[in-house]
Chain A
Amino acid sequence: MHEFWLKFAGHRFGLAGLVFIVALIVLAVIYPFIVPYDPAAISNDIMMGPSARHWLGTDDLGRDVFAGMCQGIQVSLTVGFAAALASSVLGILIGSVAGFAGGRTDLGLMRFSEMFQVMPSFILAAVIVAIAGPGLARVVAVIAILAWPQVARVIRGEVLRIRQLEFVDAVRCLGYREGAILFHEVIPNALPPVLAVGTLIVGQAILLEASLSFLGLSSADLISWGRMLNNGQRFLFDAWWLSFFPGAAIFLTVLAFNLVGDAVGAVLNPKGEQK
């Protein structure tokens, strides 16, 4: 673990991404003490540009944009982490069973996962949310259902490699059942690469949630970055700050997760070096 951190610290951009994410989490917790406005509070300061009083301006109802963005961190990060976790669990289960069982099971499960990869996932997600109604849990579930094949593919590859190693045969000679071998011996060893994919999925999930909210497919009483952009679209000609800042927040956050994910991938699987 210590070695992992040392190597990770060597990736400047990955480190910068991690620092940014940690800063976001801190901000989401402490913002009520910094910003003197309630994100949902309506005021008479309508459509004011960025100023000393309202750092990032106010919207058509006089709500403070910066306070709203701080509130939005919660939505984005919750959706991102929850979706990544759920799709990882699903992907690990399906991918490891496919890789461990081999043969027809493997072929069937991988074909099944291919079907999900070919589907126009965003449109499917949008239709599901449009029809089933908004709600964070639903959005997380939809993203997880669409993203698990990425995890499944990675873990399947690892399981295929690990199941041929000698220690697996050794455990088998001790008389353990196949299921126990898979869950206690093989999967724990196959997990590290999932960390890299999982981090990238956090970014994808944040982007997808923001896109859905931008289309108006999110609960209207929940302040999120995508929702703010949806509102900003109506005032594009009069109030650039309503669109610029929330969009920049989405961009930087997704970028940060992509940088961390790439760095984790590079640390865990350096070119030419045998693990």
Chain B
Amino acid sequence: MGLTRYTIRRLLQAIPVIIGIITITFFLTDAIPGDPVSIMLGPSPSAQQAAAIRAKYGLDKPLFVRYINYLGDVSPIWIDTISTFPYVDLTFGVDLGQSIYYKVPVTQKIAERLPVTVLLLVSSFTFALLAAVPLGVISAQRRNKPTDHVSRVLALVGVSTPSFWIGLILIIVFAFHLDVLPATNLIMPWADPAGVEGADTWVDVLVVSGKHLILPTLSLGTLQMAAITRIERSAMLENLSEDYVKLARAYGVKERTILRKHAFRPAQLPVITIVGLNLTQALGGAVLTETVFSINGMGRLIITAIYNQDYPLVMGTTIFFGLMFVLGVIVTDISYAYIDPRVSYGEQEG
């Protein structure tokens, strides 16, 4: 199979998209009114100070020159990585510049905030898949029966509800009213037990962290759960009406086997697509969820960066989001082949 060639071709195709993302981000960020220098130095900086800062961040150069420089900086420089051996540079030589507001490298800030958001996304999508796949299958199996109707109404309401509102209602009910779950101050599962209140061992930390995660997970995951349920159901229905299913039924194959072998497996293709596409789009939802639950993740980082006109940080985080999306799409495409052998890589068939 031309899997390797296909992968390489998809990676090459991604290059213009990534350059496009960098370009859009660069010029959009440049259009943001206001002066980052005045934010750093207060309202009335001396001309000398301002000029020094401008020179330090390269803001004194013309727009086009800055654009070219930035393109050069963000391109991976493999030589650097090799020369620092044996220390593996996890950024692969990508230099996203210095954050003006936090005064640390942008890559460092991303590395600091990324695990929080990844944790949130992973738990949300795990919840969404665990709930949605069985719900969609049962719904298709018991089509037009009460179970189906209930699950369809749930899915409809789920895709129509703002995630941040679900968050607010969950806080009101479970944190304020019932007082059983915490609403803010997310604690990471790998936090040091010494710094976590009421925790002596790492098991305690896991429990505390899990409790903190429940509400944000429900808030961010409900929309995904609903969307996946709808897709799972219609894909299952479509497959169940295929000729090979009818044939299998005619041969007297057990309904369970048909469901599992002939309908379920191919029905996962559209589900994978939607998970792949939504995983990065959910970063947008994470902006809102992180705001509601006061979680310091990537979403709040980018909002803070925009508020503070922290150009390098805005550009760095947006480019990072874009890169993740492009990679996500490629991984989705490739994982198709493992699930459905009928998918060709576009070389054999037209």
A and B bound?
Answer: no
